[in-house]
């Protein structure tokens, strides 16, 4: 049975954490085998902040071959024996264990030229990125904090371990990680750390795009993602990672319905959408096409005809560059392309067509995007019509009213059984029937649909029946 943090006791410079039993089992196994073992890194940071860690990492002076021997009766995954890292698998959760190590120079901003194992925990902590992540703990020793991580947590500061130039040149992704921690924790970046990040920001492109977007998405999913975007802008990361957003900065919309420039409007929408990655990405891209579509009418008012479609295409190109999944790319594309239909006054059929285009799973993400978009336009903006639209969509889905062909009480086989020719006419008839059913849900009954289908075919061309079409 697992147990969690039920309290913290402060004994002078020692702090005792109550940790999950499956992690304690790993520590005790190593200690009983004659090795040092500590929980390390982010789990210490989170517990000191009173948060529940998502996972636990363990560091030890046991070398890789010794780790395999100590945990020979466990399922293990070797994810980097040359770096001294294995994962020990248990039903309650996996634990990553790494041997204390030192590292040589980073020649390519990604990996060290050499790695050697150490017997000193402080050697291991010295190679970590930020002070708040460079702490270790076990019950016997308490917290080991050689770089002032606890003080930086108290002062709400992100600071590198040692010289920031050295830390960032070891791995340029750490610049973006500094932004991520500052955004998620709502901390400040230490000035020397910030300036070094700004100095090397363009080097971020030396990092694989997959590693970049994984960090970037964590920023987007923070409580206030605009914090991170603004930090990226100030450090030069935005121009490197997402140059398509730069033209929106300071871009005057010249429209009485918009009180902010495009950039600040986008960030407002971003902060006001729920933390769902496709919705946050759509918020980021929804008006990114405006600088490319501005027209000024005779009254000097700005318009952005087609910016939704331009933005959708930009989102697709960016996510292709990020090498994200096609599924995510398509979801974002649809949300951006459809975000302007909040101006439309949909009737019953139009609303169901919208659900069909966007999809049942994404339609409410679109609604959230539209509400945020309206909220961030001007202080007098009203989105009651979108709230009513959401209510009606919920009713449609709860009542299982048809908006897709496969929701009808009739299918292609039924039409063939009526005597219709196999071919394109079957799909055409089904689409016709769906149009009728979307407008009048009570028609979604097999016999009624059969009659409608026969009437349609006979009006169109009697030769489309392979035999006499009749009920």
The range of the structural domain enclosing residue 411 comes to 405-464
Same domain, 327 and 274: yes
Q: Does residue 218 fall inside a structural domain? A: no
Same domain, 150 and 262: no
Long-range contacts of 460-463 (CB under 8 A, 24+ apart): 460/425
Same domain, 277 and 358: yes
Is residue 24 a contact partner of residue 42, using CB atoms and an 8 Å limit?
A: no
Point out which residues pair with 59 in neighbouring strands: 38, 98
Taking 70 as the pLDDT cut, the residues of the chain under it are 1-16, 80-82, 103-116, 462-471
Q: Does residue 171 fall inside a structural domain? A: no
Provide the domain count of the chain.
3
Is residue 207 a contact partner of residue 172, using CB atoms and an 8 Å limit?
A: yes
Looking up residue 316, the CATH number of its domain turns out to be 1.10.3210
| Euclidean distance between CA atoms 415 and 437, whole angstroms | 16
Same domain, 356 and 444: no
Same domain, 257 and 391: yes
Same domain, 453 and 390: no
Q: Does residue 197 fall inside a structural domain? A: no
| Euclidean distance between CA atoms 35 and 77, whole angstroms | 20
Q: How many percent of the chain have pLDDT more than 70?
A: 91
Q: Does residue 1 fall inside a structural domain? A: no
pLDDT at 146: 96
Exposure string over 62-101, b if 16+ CB within 10 A, otherwise e: bbbebbeebbeebebeeeeeeebbbbbeeeeeebbbbbbb
State pTM to two decimals.
0.89
Same domain, 413 and 391: no
| Euclidean distance between CA atoms 283 and 373, whole angstroms | 8
Q: Does residue 416 fall inside a structural domain? A: yes
pLDDT at 5: 35
pLDDT at 84: 79
- Helix, strand or coil, per DSSP, at residue 466: coil
In this structure, the number of other CB atoms found within 10 A of the CB of residue 4 comes to 10
Domain final position from 129, 155, 181: 155
Domain final position from 383, 399, 415: 399
Q: Does residue 186 fall inside a structural domain? A: no
**Shortest CA distance to 438 belongs to which of 392, 396, 387, 389?**
396
Domain final position from 113, 138, 155: 155
**Shortest CA distance to 385 belongs to which of 426, 416, 351?**
351
| Euclidean distance between CA atoms 391 and 397, whole angstroms | 10
Same domain, 330 and 438: no
pLDDT at 10: 34
């Amino acid at each position: 049975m697992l147990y969690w943090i039920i309290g913290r006791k402060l004994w002078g410079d020692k702090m005792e954490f109550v940790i999950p039993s499956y992690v304690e089992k790993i520590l005790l196994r190593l200690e009983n085998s004659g090795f040092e073992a500590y929980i390390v890194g982010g789990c210490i940071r989170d517990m000191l902040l009173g948060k529940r860690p998502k996972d636990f990492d363990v560091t030890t002076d046991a070398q890789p071959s010794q780790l395999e021997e100590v945990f020979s009766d466990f399922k293990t995954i070797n994810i980097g024996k040359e770096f001294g890292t294995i994962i020990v698998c248990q039903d309650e959760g996996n634990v990553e264990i790494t041997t204390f190590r030192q590292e040589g120079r980073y020649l390519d901003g990604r990996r060290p030229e050499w790695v050697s194992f150490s017997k000193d925990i402080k050697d291991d902590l010295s190679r970590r990125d930020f002070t708040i992540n460079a702490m270790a703990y076990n019950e016997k020793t308490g917290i080991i904090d050689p770089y002032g991580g606890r003080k930086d947590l108290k002062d709400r500061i992100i600071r590198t371990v040692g010289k920031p130039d050295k830390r960032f040149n070891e791995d340029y992704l750490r610049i973006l990680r500094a932004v991520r921690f500052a955004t998620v924790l709502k901390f400040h970046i230490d000035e020397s750390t910030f300036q070094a990040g700004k100095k090397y920001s363009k080097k971020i492109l030396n990092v694989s795009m997959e590693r970049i977007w994984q960090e970037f998405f964590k920023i987007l999913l923070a409580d206030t993602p605009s914090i991170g975007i603004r930090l990226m802008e100030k450090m030069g990361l935005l121009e490197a990672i997402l140059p398509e957003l730069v033209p929106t900065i300071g871009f005057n919309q010249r429209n009485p319905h918009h009180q902010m420039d495009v950039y600040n409007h986008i960030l407002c929408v971003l902060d006001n959408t729920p933390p769902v990655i496709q919705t946050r990405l759509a918020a980021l891209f929804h008006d990114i096409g405006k600088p490319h579509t501005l027209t000024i009418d005779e009254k000097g008012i700005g318009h952005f005809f087609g910016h939704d479609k331009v933005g959708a295409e930009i989102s697709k190109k960016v996510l292709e560059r990020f090498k994200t999944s096609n599924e995510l790319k398509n979801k974002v594309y649809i949300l951006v392309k459809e975000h302007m239909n909040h101006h439309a006054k949909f009737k019953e059929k139009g609303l169901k067509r919208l659900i069909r285009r966007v999809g049942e799973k994404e339609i409410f993400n679109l609604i959230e995007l539209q509400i945020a978009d309206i909220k961030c336009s001007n202080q007098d903006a009203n989105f009651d019509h979108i709230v009513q639209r959401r209510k009606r969509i919920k009713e449609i889905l709860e009542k299982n009213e048809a908006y897709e062909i496969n929701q009808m009480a009739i299918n292609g086989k039924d039409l063939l059984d009526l005597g219709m020719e196999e071919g394109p006419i079957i799909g055409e008839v089904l689409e016709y029937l769906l149009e009728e059913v979307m407008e009048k849900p009570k028609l979604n009954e097999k016999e009624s649909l059969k009659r409608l289908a026969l009437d349609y075919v006979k009006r169109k061309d009697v030769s489309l029946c392979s035999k006499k079409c009749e009920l």
